[in-house]
Structures are given as structure tokens and as C-alpha cells.
Chains A and B, each alone.
Chain A
Amino acid sequence: MLQEFSYLAPTTLKDLYALLKKNAGTAVILAGGTDLLVEMHNNWISPKLLVDIKKIPQLNDMSFDRKNGLSIGATTVCIDLINNSDVKKYYPLLADAAGRIGSHQLRNRATIGGNLCTASPCADMGCSLLALGAEVELASADGIRVIPLKDYFTGPKKTQIKKHEVLQKIIVPFESANAKFGMRKLKRIKGHDIALISVAMARTEKFLRVGVGSCAPTPVVTAPLPANAKPEKVKEAVMKVVSPIDDVRASRDYRLFMTGEFVDSIYAEIFNGGSK
């Protein structure tokens, strides 16, 4: 048995905001539970109140248009992102990234919002969404704010979300639609495992951006580079934003080396006609 807690599952955003406001500090949001229930199972945390947000239809919505780009409701699970026709057509990098998370069982349950809220440096959606210039919409009884994903992560497992806020949706701009892309995830084993480093590159007609995971306290991204930036310039920009550490899974030097290798190989792939 897990520790005791209360469980509430509001069905409207209004009720959710009110609940979070009233219980700020004690309420913990439950999405897919694939991070949260592991932490509770291991007794790392013992929340007093779990607020299940999966019963709120707006949070599970996905939509696309040529003005606003792609909007991903926070409780969208990996497998629904992977199978979404707009994602397949306009943002295949996201399907590629989500397909690298855990196993089938995990992908059927793990949400995109949860991945960004756990905010692990190695979270797989981080580097791909950063490369595409995504923003996140944070909401509460006090109102809604939209911030660039690159400013959202503030440290390992730390974000700008306030205690009474919910991450409502992720917005991927239309200007990133149809970007040529490539992604690599370095793991210890071929089966399901978290990343030692991950690199995602997206190139549109106007810009090129590289997102990197597990190579700094948060997932990081380069500034938008010109679409025809030379490989040395891209690598230089990447090396400026990463700051890996030595840990039990890999050394700093190995991480830096493999990041460089991946940037080179993805660059070659993208400039030879893209990886679709």
C-alpha cells in the first residue's frame, strides 16, 4: 500500500483552479502517474492530496491550424501524440521523441505535460520541443500566462510553475511546421532506458535550432541559427549551451564527445535531404 492520501478528480478547469488555489502546497497533480507513483512507491514523497487532471476534457485536446500551430493538451499521452495525423505530417520530430520514451506500457500512459513537469534533465520531450521553439501555457485562478519553454526550466526537476498553477498546454509554433529534423538518444542498453544524452535538431527555411538533453541541469537549446549555418557554427553554438557533469551513467567528456558526434551526424542527415 502507498501512504494515505486523498484523491480528487475535478472535471472542469474552473474546479481545478479553485482546488489548486485552496490547497496550494499540499495538492499534487496526478497525470499519467509514471513518475509520481514511482516516487510514492519509493517513499521519496508523500503527498496529502492527489488531484487527478485526466477527467478534464480540455486538457486532453490536440489541435492544429496555420495561424497558431500545434496545441498539445497537457494530458495527451505519448502514443496519442505519436499517432496524431497533424503531428505525423507537420511535426514528425515530436512523434520520434515520444516514441523514445520508456516502453509501450509507459507510452500508453505517460503524458507530455507530465514529462515537462517532472523536468528531469533527461526528459525526452524537452530537447525536441525546445528545438521546435515551443511555449507552455500555465494557468491558475489568477489567470493564464504563456512562456517560452526555454525559460520554463530553471534547474534539475525545477520549473517556473507556481504551486497553484497547472501546465495546461504546449504550443508549437506554425513556423516550425515541416522542419527537417533529426534526433539521437544515447542509452546504455537498446531496450527502454533513460538518455545519457539526447540531441534534437530542427531546420526550417528560416532557422536551425538544436535542443540537448542530459547535458546540463535542464534540457537546453541554442539560439535560432541561420538555416544555412555551417556545421562548425552549429557545434560551437551547442557547446556554448551545454555543461555536462560526471555521474554514474557517463562522464562529462564522453557526454561532450557524443554530443558533438550527434550534432555532426544529424547535420549531415538534414543537409542531405532531411530525415523524413
Chain B
Amino acid sequence: MKISLKVNGKKYTREVETNKNLLHFIREDLGLTGTKEGCGAGECGACTIIMNGKTVNSCLILAVEANGCEIETIEGEAKNGKLSKLQKAFHENHAVQCGFCTPGMILSARALLEKNAKPTVEQIKEAIEGNFCRCTGYQQIIEAVQDASGQLKKKEGLKRA
């Protein structure tokens, strides 16, 4: 089936098999491998993308369902080779270890900050409920989101940069 969609502002038209999920389409057909596959079944959030303004698990959507949609992936986060505020905060607060969860984490965090510029720690935890991290223990991720929203005092946390 032929589908047309916008990814990070760029229009793509492609022929795609009906049995390919959106995650594999983004990674294999579009070559945007920032979006990761963890569980493939809606549990881990590694495949999180933003579709028509909402975060979704791209492993639970067929590519054909995305026909006509606007999608944002982690590749759209940095602008003109410059890291976004969130990416910088993740980097500086050691919120990235293996990095597998990071693309999904950042998109969930972005969805939060777009609605709520100064989230509490509880609200940050709730926002990343659908994103598993097997390395950091979450603390640095929470601090990174606090930092990106201008709420982390300099001496707090693990900030070293």
C-alpha cells in the first residue's frame, strides 16, 4: 500500500507492506534508527514517537495507519546541529548510560514540558511511567527534566559539566 506522511517536517511517500509496524517502517524504510525497539509490545516505551501531537508506542501501530499523519522522532529534536535543551540536560546530568531508552524518554519529557513548563518530581515520574530505563535508576533522568525546566539547583544531583 502506498502511504504519505510527514516525519520531522519532511514529506515521505513510500510503498509499504500492510504487516509492517510503524517502528520498523521508520527504522528500516526511512533509515531513522534513533527510535528503538525494546519489547515490541507496548510495555517499554523505547519506540515512543510523537504522532499528530501525541506520544504513542510506534510498535503498536501499523505503518499503513500512519498515512497522512505528522510524526516527530528523536532525529527532529536537535536543530541545525545544536542539541535541544532537553538533550543537553540529559547529557549534562548523566541521564544517559546505554542510551537505549533515551530517545523515548526525551519525547515523553518533551510532551510533558509542552503542557507543563514547571513539573513537580511526581509529575515527571508520572510522565515517564511508560518508559523503562534499565540503567540509570531514573534519578538522573528526573534531574535532567528538572534541569531542562530550570528547576535544578546547581549543586543538586550529579551535574558535572
- Show the binding face of A for B, using Cβ within 8 Å: 1-7, 30, 32-34, 37-38, 41-42, 50, 52, 54, 79, 102-106, 108-109, 191-192
What are 18 contact pairs spanning A and B, CB under 8 A?
A1-B17, A1-B24, A2-B19, A2-B20, A2-B21, A7-B18, A7-B64, A34-B42, A37-B42, A54-B65, A79-B54, A103-B131, A104-B127, A105-B42, A105-B45, A105-B48, A109-B56, A109-B57
> Hey, which chain B residues are within 8 Å of A1, CB to CB?
17, 19-20, 24
**Binary interface encoding of chain B residues 56-79 relative to chain A, with 1 for a CB under 8 A from any of its CBs, else 0:** 110111101100000000000000
A189 to chain B, nearest CB (A): 10
Report yes or no: B65 in contact with A33, Cβ–Cβ below 8 A: yes
A145 to chain B, nearest CB (A): 29
Cα distance, A6 to B19, chains bound together (Å): 8
- Show the binding face of B for A, using Cβ within 8 Å: 1, 17-21, 24, 40-42, 45, 48, 54-57, 59-62, 64-65, 108, 111, 127, 129-131
A-B CB proximity, top 9 nearest: A103-B130, A108-B54, A7-B18, A2-B19, A37-B60, A105-B130, A105-B57, A38-B41, A103-B129
| Chain A-chain B contacts (Cβ-Cβ < 8 Å), number | 81
Report yes or no: B42 in contact with A102, Cβ–Cβ below 8 A: yes
A interface: dominant SS: loop
Cα distance, A192 to B108, chains bound together (Å): 15
Report yes or no: A104 in contact with B129, Cβ–Cβ below 8 A: yes
A122 to chain B, nearest CB (A): 15
Report yes or no: A33 in contact with B129, Cβ–Cβ below 8 A: no
> Hey, which chain A residues are within 8 Å of B19, CB to CB?
1-5
> Hey, which chain A residues are within 8 Å of B56, CB to CB?
105, 108-109
Report yes or no: A42 in contact with B54, Cβ–Cβ below 8 A: no
Cα distance, A50 to B108, chains bound together (Å): 29
